[in-house]
Structure 1
């Protein structure tokens, strides 16, 4: 955190949460989404920030002025709570919420922090079911007369957004070892989120920087009564709950692979954060003797970090504070109750709040038919930083992940791959249990490994792969020397952090002449939203260019959500960044692209899944299409009129639409609802 006026003295606070926080170096305060945590506050909390949901909500209100305030939300939800109490038919039976868990890592092996195991992830779902259902014989049970079975349970998704089988665990290598809350919000969530009307998105991450002491946070629900909320992408693209990987799950179910640290090792961080996701407030109301809008939770003076059940409540000396409530800050073993009024509040949110109400009818937790031999391939992120100069050696390998989505163990697979028309074969051998994966380095043929790469699993265990919808992908492959791109006009976007006076950048040609530059900029108050994105247009002809961005303070722009990227005329990202200290350099080698070398993400479709119509972006009046079903049969063909293709007559399922526009061809998977 930046502090220009306070003393240079730094206090070193050593805490026992070695896997979560290690030995943290604390300055005079920690700033997380505009909320300052003083050293005294951190000492009271054993050096941790238990939850940042309230501060995050204030940040969202500052960034999105149309988002409701707390008082507006309460004015909207309270009549609905009363209506739910009177109309029990609204409550219905048990609600099952499909869950996807995004395990964010930087290339670590399976089971090496923060790439936690499937078993650790699954234990978190078990804990939430114990707690929300108040299950007898589990730590989630209580005999308190106001204790409630919330009638909500959670299940890892069995179908992914493309209609393919999944175990509900999405492992994503984003190259960086740790993340601040601002970086998660601006980059991690939008890049990885699944449709929040069909999945409750959970993220397991390693926090760092100003968020290094944080255990978790959530996004509160919104209502549909205020303008702009339903269409504001800043809300839907970040919806979900986040926790430190070392608090994710419970050691009660440890099979020897868990990476966790007491006293936050029983899964109650996510029980707490999901409570916020479903509309619950902290029981002290985030104020001295504040309100959580639930009558049956005694008014608390402040957050409790110790399981002292003899603390007298604010309003009644004969009633004690409910330190065991999941929405307090006590240790995991202390927590074990949601109340009847908290259940009423959750019920009203699930019946009325956008995205929450859709989760009630999602079927993403219902399994689809599985095959014995089903291989899935995904492109892994290239974390190479070699593209800082126009020289250097280009990479001739591409890293992919091979998943076993079949019911039989996968012991062999044949993978065809290549750039352009030079297709090669790779024979993989190993032993993958269902839903496990292996990383594979494919040697890309040719002296210039830049172009459209196709990867396909053709056989599994000696027989033809049985699912066409997940066994292949196309991508534009660029070696790890200077980034390759075609001549034309580019757009440089800079999302500054609050400290604009520290930021400068320039673009130089091969002769060292500065062609474009920016900064320093004005500083922005840290209590509000980040400054508007600064966009500039670059006209680049063939040659080598070097981009450099500087930060005079030495902490880059990432910590509060800053980033930069360069996009071509089609909107494709050529390079991007945000995490550096004093300087970061990117090189771009602009060439004249040959016919057919246009990037494979030229076009985009929406909505996906679709009901009646697919909208197609960036196509001309000459564009045509073909639609194939999951087994490769051609089911529809024609011209793309008014940027739309009608799909109402198609049966439900997974399809591939191939868009052909002049010399460009691209295939995209979509789901027909």
Structure 2
């Protein structure tokens, strides 16, 4: 169950800062979109080809699906998109925030994927660091381990995924169930959206590749930010590049428009007309983990509004 504290203030920290700097100099400022890429033993012609196959994130939506979702949100009086895109940044705002309980399910096959308690806590610590400026925090309340080769290889919408979640899921709509596995097809992760809970509560949660947790083998996606990205979906965010250069884009006006997903860490990339360079450091883009460190003020507002409508107390 979510526990709300007093109102918190979102300060103008990294979440509201420039999108053109590389944090701590931890990696090269390069565009890796067209670079050859090998992932889990499979060779792809380019990083973009790998992502287009759906492997970077299994939570992609079509424009028709997004249009239907936004109409529902409008009917329910939830966060409304601004009329046009802006250039990012923003000052301090008062947010609701709260503590989200985490039920962490380690699904493994023998010794493969068998994370330790310390590794699980490291992943939760990354979530807390990433969301620190938003007022949201995460408390690990339970961890379980399941040795099941079929579940370990689950894919989005599969029988294995349904079986695993039906057996393991705990809590209510405002509790995060996080499953680590080795998804078939090379997925890094996927998540359900808040507005889907009513229709299929057992499916609710986030699935991540075990090797994406801090120190895992999924270089350059092994600092724990896959979970951060997927939890963003679980809280109601779209990809920052959603809608391309259209006026509405990702339905959040302080993430500058972006024609397509970014890979690597292409500092100063600017693919659309209008204010602001591409939001490559935003957790909802596709850049490498070392390049991601930002949520914006209005992404935070959207998460607050959507959570309050579709998760809190449900």
Q: TM-score range by the shorter chain?
A: 0.7 to 0.9
Name the structure 1 match of 2:267.
309
Name the structure 1 match of 2:179.
203
Name the structure 2 match of 1:554.
none
Q: TM-score, normalised by structure 2?
A: 0.74
Is 1:70 paired with 2:27?
no
Greater fraction helix: 2
- Conserved in 1, the CA contact under 8 Å of 2:244 and 2:258? no
Alignment partners' CA distance in 2, 1:49 and 1:173: 24
Distance 1:56 1:119, change over 3 A: farther
5+ residue gaps, structure 1: 1-13, 27-38, 62-66, 83-87, 134-148, 158-167, 224-228, 252-258, 360-673
Name the structure 1 match of 2:104.
101
Secondary structure in 2 matching 1:69: helix
> 296, 302, 307: which is aligned to 1:345?
302
- Conserved in 2, the CA contact under 8 Å of 1:275 and 1:327? yes
- Conserved in 2, the CA contact under 8 Å of 1:284 and 1:299? yes
Alignment partners' CA distance in 2, 1:344 and 1:47: 31
Alignment partners' CA distance in 1, 2:61 and 2:276: 29
> 247, 252, 264: which is aligned to 2:212?
247
- Conserved in 1, the CA contact under 8 Å of 2:101 and 2:139? yes
Distance 1:115 1:242, change over 3 A: same
**Deviation of the 1:215 alpha carbon:** 0.3
Secondary structure in 2 matching 1:352: helix
**Deviation of the 1:119 alpha carbon:** 1.2
Deviations 1:119-178 (Å, cap 9, x if unpaired)? Answer: 111111101110101xxxxxxxxxxxxxxx210000101xxxxxxxxxx11111224352
Asked which structure has the greater RCO (Cα within 8 Å, sep 6+), the reply is 2
Name the structure 2 match of 1:264.
221
> 55, 59, 81: which is aligned to 1:53?
59
Name the structure 1 match of 2:186.
213
Alignment partners' CA distance in 2, 1:199 and 1:186: 18
- Conserved in 1, the CA contact under 8 Å of 2:264 and 2:288? yes
Secondary structure in 2 matching 1:351: helix
CA RMSD of aligned residues (A): 3.2
Alignment partners' CA distance in 1, 2:169 and 2:62: 18
> 288, 293, 297: which is aligned to 2:251?
293
Distance 1:213 1:175, change over 3 A: closer
**Deviation of the 1:22 alpha carbon:** 2.2
Secondary structure in 2 matching 1:272: helix
- Conserved in 2, the CA contact under 8 Å of 1:99 and 1:201? yes
Name the structure 1 match of 2:313.
358
Matches within 5 A, 1:411-560: none
Deviations 1:531-570 (Å, cap 9, x if unpaired)? Answer: xxxxxxxxxxxxxxxxxxxxxxxxxxxxxxxxxxxxxxxx
- Conserved in 2, the CA contact under 8 Å of 1:68 and 1:222? no
Deviations 1:296-346 (Å, cap 9, x if unpaired)? Answer: 100001111131121225231x52111000000000000000000001001
Greater fraction strand: 1
Alignment partners' CA distance in 2, 1:76 and 1:41: 39
Secondary structure in 2 matching 1:181: coil
- Conserved in 1, the CA contact under 8 Å of 2:78 and 2:305? no
Q: How many residues align?
A: 266
**Deviation of the 1:358 alpha carbon:** 2.3
Distance 1:334 1:104, change over 3 A: same
Secondary structure in 2 matching 1:182: coil
Deviations 1:47-95 (Å, cap 9, x if unpaired)? Answer: 872111125998xx7xxxxx9932323424665569xxxxx88x44x40
Distance 1:50 1:321, change over 3 A: same
5+ residue gaps, structure 2: 1-35, 82-92
Name the structure 2 match of 1:320.
277
Distance 1:98 1:352, change over 3 A: same
